[in-house]
Amino acid sequence: MRTLLGDLLAHRLSQAPAGALNKRLYDVLQAAIQEGAIATGSRLPASRDLAKELKVSRNTVLAAYEQLQSEGYLQTRTGSGTFVCEQLPEIVLENSEPLPAQGTSFHYVSLSRRGTRVLGRSGAGAYQWGAFMPGVPDVSHMPHDIWRKIQLRLSRRMPVEALSYSSHGGCLQLQQALADYLRVSRSLHCSYEQILITAGTHQALDLLAKMLCDPGDGAWIEEPGYWGFRNVLAVNGIELLPTPVDEQGMMLPDVAALSGVTRLPRLICVTPSHQYPLGAVMSLQRRQQLLALAKSSGSWVVEDDYDGEFRFGDSPIPALQGLSADAPVIYLGTFSKTLYPGLRLSYMVVPKPLAARMKMAYSELYRGGNGLVQLTLAEFIREGHYAAHVRRMRQLYSRRRAALVQVITNSLGSAFLAQQSNAGLHLILSLPEHIDDVALAAELEQNGVLTRPLSAYYLQGASRRGLLLGYACVEEQNMAATFEPVRKCLQRHLQPA
């Protein structure tokens, strides 16, 4: 089969000066990557296919690929293929100067201070699936057949409200289905009027930051905590106040002991059902303390229940929001973990008095849409497919987690699994303090294994070292082989210099 990339390379090879074929192919590939003709993050053809297309030997292609890999242009990912690296050796985002366009003084890449701040904190890679990418479900299990049938049926008679702009915070049917689901499965106090459908948790938090905070207000965020929260809040001018977590969740000051000078935050952002990334469950005593503190200080609690459905072994942890009927809590939920992140559907549950205002603000700022998808999801929930899918995935992830725990215990020892929670889509491989987990994760990424360094989740200096390993996408029978590059790489780092 002929491909556009094959045509481009064949043409450039025919123009290249004489010389060893693998060197010419290397030059042509390198130039195409540097110019952006082959985009960063894109997948290259398998060596066998490219060799066939260019009518050269496979060894010629392999030699060019290997050279580019050793120079940091390409990386291989186990079971997925060869990819152009996100960050090329000579193109480092932070160092890029605004480029004046030829013949004019207009700076096409001069960003606002806020824009620069967004990019300075950015961590999103082009490839976000596979071993051992944390926080990502096994998207290949999504029951598309059922989804498609529902969608086809509904699309034959779409109500006009679902085809026009939405000013009601999403489709009524989805709000109703969700309210019923959340009351039963997550013990929430809610009715459908309180539910606002959003396009991902980041968007929900952006709305909260804009509507409930002014620039300069403070937010307590968990330390360590989710980078996404930090970025969205900081870009909205909110001061980040990192607050340490222990095995009971966020550590809080005693309300009675608060002095007049204590700076109280506008938002208190927590992950009480499964602290991200360490995994603690917030104790009942801490939950009550948090609600009392929020009520007395006029702070909003933002409860991020990102993966509350996935607890293995013991029973689900009820949401904090459900603890008291008038709790000053805004509950955030997402379908990114239970269905798939590309769906971009999430929701917030807000106290009744705030709901209409937030819905109006949502349509002013973002305008709701995707009516057909929302109606399909409502029916998918109502017919019981959602609960069944979550149940199936919970069993699957439980087995995959157990397999990874077993592999780590056998190959490294249980000391590398300190303080684990039996929940979620990732676990923490605990590392000794002297290990540079950032360097280790970068090295693994070069070898096609995606992990995240635990120290990067801390905003302030002192941090625990470790790797977040997402097991959701790795089949049990492949766990040992997939973990092997991690073990090998770690053994090298553990050896005394």
Ligand X SMILES: Cc1ncc(COP(=O)(O)O)c(C=O)c1O
- Applying CB under 6 A, the residues found at the interface with ligand X are 135, 200-202, 226, 271, 276, 304, 306, 334, 336, 341, 346
Q: Compare residues 177 and 332 and give the one whose CB is closer to ligand X.
A: 332
Q: How far is the CB of 321 from ligand X (least distance, A)?
A: 15
Q: Compare residues 30 and 243 and give the one whose CB is closer to ligand X.
A: 243
Cα 8–chain centre separation = 35
Residue 475 tokens read as 């089949």
Q: How far is the CB of 185 from ligand X (least distance, A)?
A: 18
Q: Compare residues 297 and 421 and give the one whose CB is closer to ligand X.
A: 421
Residue in this structure with the two tokens 């590309």, named with its chain if needed: 342
Q: How far is the CB of 462 from ligand X (least distance, A)?
A: 21
Instruction: Tally the C-alpha atoms within 13 A of residue 448's C-alpha that lie toward its C-beta.
Output: 16
Q: Compare residues 131 and 435 and give the one whose CB is closer to ligand X.
A: 131
Q: Compare residues 321 and 334 and give the one whose CB is closer to ligand X.
A: 334
Terminal CA-CA length for the chain: 50
362, 141 Cβ separation under 8 angstroms: no
Residue in this structure with the two tokens 């990019």, named with its chain if needed: 119
Rg, C-alpha atoms of the chain: 25
Cα 144–chain centre separation = 22
196 DSSP β-pair partners: 348
Q: Compare residues 227 and 416 and give the one whose CB is closer to ligand X.
A: 227
Between β-strands 218-223 and 81-84, what pairing exists: parallel, antiparallel or unpaired? unpaired
Q: Compare residues 223 and 304 and give the one whose CB is closer to ligand X.
A: 304
Q: How far is the CB of 98 from ligand X (least distance, A)?
A: 30
Backbone angles phi, psi at 334, to 5 degrees: -145, 150
Q: How far is the CB of 345 from ligand X (least distance, A)?
A: 8
Q: How far is the CB of 276 from ligand X (least distance, A)?
A: 4
Q: How far is the CB of 426 from ligand X (least distance, A)?
A: 9
Q: Where are the beta strands (DSSP E) in 150-232?
A: 195-198, 218-223
Furthest-apart CA atoms within the chain: distance in Å: 81
